[in-house]
Structure 1
Amino acid sequence: MKNAIITGGTKGMGRAITIALVKQNINVSICSRNAAELDAFKTELLVVNPQIKVFTTVADCSILAELKNFAEFTEKNMGFVDILVNNVGMFKPAAILDDDDESYQKQMDTNLRPAYELYRFFGKSMVSVGKGHIFNICSVAGLHPIPEAGVYSVTKYALVGLNEVMKLEMQPHGVKVTAVIPGSTYTDSWKGAAVDTNRMVLPEDVASAITNILNMSNGANVDEIIIKPTFGQI
């Protein structure tokens, strides 16, 4: 049975990905800043699949000490991690010239640093056994910047670049790396907005893409997958 770690696993894409992995008979380790949400989600996951193990950690991934505690807890309880899903992120709409002084560091610490740190933490063990799969949840803002979300776009550009470096470093060792690049996806960022969810990507679409990629043959890797709304970005 394989083991997966997912950052920000209780909401949006992280939640959908976690459920999809559990249905694939994969043990999961997830984190959230909310202990009550983690406990409730763990109960739900064990109903979905009583055969798997679920590990939870209260952690704010933008705080390095909490992120490292999550990684160490996961390794201690799971052993080898086959699948790393760097999902956690934040979206803050603001032009760079109008943004507050703390925005840059906060978004870098949330959208980029967790992927970097967890890659360094788990990547060496993946190399040592010659297997594993890393998924980085990027954004189309990392390909085509959104001027109304300047710092967010910068962090997602950086994440796409980090994904490319990971892929090149891991390729000789048989470890797979995939950039998942969604367009307008209905997550908590859109709650309260007047949008038609039938014209958006759903978290379950992203989760389906990941499980399908995982089920490909050992010799196949999806370098990146772009998932956009049928009628264009919102």
Structure 2
Amino acid sequence: MKTALITGGTKGMGRAISLALGNDGYNLIICARNQDDLDRIAKEIAKVNAEVQVYTQVCDFSDEEQVNNLIYWVEKEFDQIDVLVNNVGLFVPGRFFDEKPGALKQHMQINVFAPHALSRAIGKVMKKHGSGNIFNVTSVASREVVPTAASYSVTKFALAGLTNIIREELKKHGVKVTEIVPGSTLTSSWEGTTVPAKEFVLPEDIAKAVMSVLSMSEGANVDEVVVRPIKGQI
């Protein structure tokens, strides 16, 4: 049975991906900041598929030490991770000249440094085994600058670049690397919106994209999947 690690796996896209992977028979390592949320998703997955093992680990990805501790624990407890989903992300709106001091550093730690560290550690193991899938969840903000989210946009461009580098490093070792590029997706960040749900991308759409990539033949790699609302960004 294969094992997948999902960061930010208790809400929104991460939750949907966790449920989809669990339903497909993957053992799961789900990481998030809140233990109650982790316990809740573990119970949800048990209802979907009682045969899979669900391991939970509290990690605040804004804290480099906690990220390093997570990596140490994973390396100690698991011989192989078959799927890594770098989903956790920070979005704090703000224009370039209006953002608070430290905004870029805060975004970089969560949106770039954490997936960088996880991809290095787990990618080395995948390289040794000659197989695996790494998914980095970016945003259409990695393609089109969002002036009202300056630091967020910078870090999503950076994560897209990192994804391309990792892919080049690992492709000759049989490890696949995919950038998942969501447009406006109906997660908790849109709480209170009056825009109908049908005009958004849904978290389940992103989960289906991940599962579709995983269903590809051994020789096929999907470089990127861009999923936008049918009527455009909201």
Quickly name the TM-score band, shorter chain normalised: over 0.9
Note the 1:85-100 alignment, pairs <5 A: 85-100=85-100
2:186 partner SS:
coil
C-alpha displacement at 1:194, in angstroms?
2.3
In 2, Cα distance between the equivalents of 1:112 and 1:164?
A: 13
Could you tell me which residue of structure 2 aligns to residue 216 of structure 1?
216
| Contact kept? 1:75, 1:81, Cα under 8 Å | no
Could you tell me which residue of structure 1 aligns to residue 6 of structure 2?
6
The code of the aligned residue for 2:230 comes to T
2:9 partner SS:
coil
1:155 partner SS:
helix
In 2, Cα distance between the equivalents of 1:102 and 1:193?
A: 29
In 2, Cα distance between the equivalents of 1:149 and 1:208?
A: 27
> Please, which runs of 5 or more residues in structure 2 have no aligned partner?
none
2:162 partner SS:
helix
Superposition misfits of 4+ residues, deviation over 6 angstroms = none
| Contact kept? 1:55, 1:74, Cα under 8 Å | no
Indicate the percent of aligned positions where both proteins have the same amino acid. 46
1:68 partner SS:
helix
C-alpha displacement at 1:91, in angstroms?
0.9
In 2, Cα distance between the equivalents of 1:145 and 1:161?
A: 15
In 1, Cα distance between the equivalents of 2:44 and 2:207?
A: 17
2:146 partner SS:
coil
Could you tell me which residue of structure 1 aligns to residue 179 of structure 2?
179
Tell me the TM-score normalised to structure 1 length.
0.98
- What is the aligned length? 234
| Contact kept? 1:142, 1:156, Cα under 8 Å | yes
The code of the aligned residue for 1:9 comes to G
Could you tell me which residue of structure 1 aligns to residue 106 of structure 2?
106
| Contact kept? 1:5, 1:74, Cα under 8 Å | no
The code of the aligned residue for 1:101 comes to P
C-alpha displacement at 1:207, in angstroms?
0.1
Give the aligned CA root-mean-square deviation in angstroms. 0.9
In 2, Cα distance between the equivalents of 1:35 and 1:47?
A: 19
C-alpha displacement at 1:110, in angstroms?
0.9
In 2, Cα distance between the equivalents of 1:139 and 1:37?
A: 24
> Please, which runs of 5 or more residues in structure 1 have no aligned partner?
none
The code of the aligned residue for 2:176 comes to K
Could you tell me which residue of structure 2 aligns to residue 135 of structure 1?
135
The code of the aligned residue for 2:137 comes to I
| Contact kept? 1:62, 1:113, Cα under 8 Å | no
